[in-house]
Amino acid sequence: MSGGLLFDFTIFVLSVLVGFEVISKVPATLHTPLMSGANSIHGVVLVGAILITAGATGPVGYLIGFVATAFAAANVVGGYVVTDRMLQMFRARRRPEPAAAAATERTSAGQGS
């Protein structure tokens, strides 16, 4: 192993330990957003996809670069947006019901009966 690789390996091991520590405290309520949020974080592979696409020189390289970039970009953008959509629904109090609820597809029929 070269010095650089050994350094990378050290970072890897320490990050694994941080991952254990940070996660083991999250309440079950938030496990789905958490999984989705963690999912977006591994979209950081986009950084790598950008670097290899920029360095590509032949058709095979372009193809791999395109697919990798598209995949990773979908992972990043979709992951964060959907996690935010979920988390904005978690509220300590009820949202005000009537007028604003018109935006959702559910009708608030039968309120008066």
List CB contacts of 79: < 8 A, sequence separation 6 or more: 36, 37, 39, 40, 41, 43
**Nearer to other proteins (CB atom), residue 77 or residue 102:** 77
Separation of alpha carbons 100 and 29, rounded Å: 26
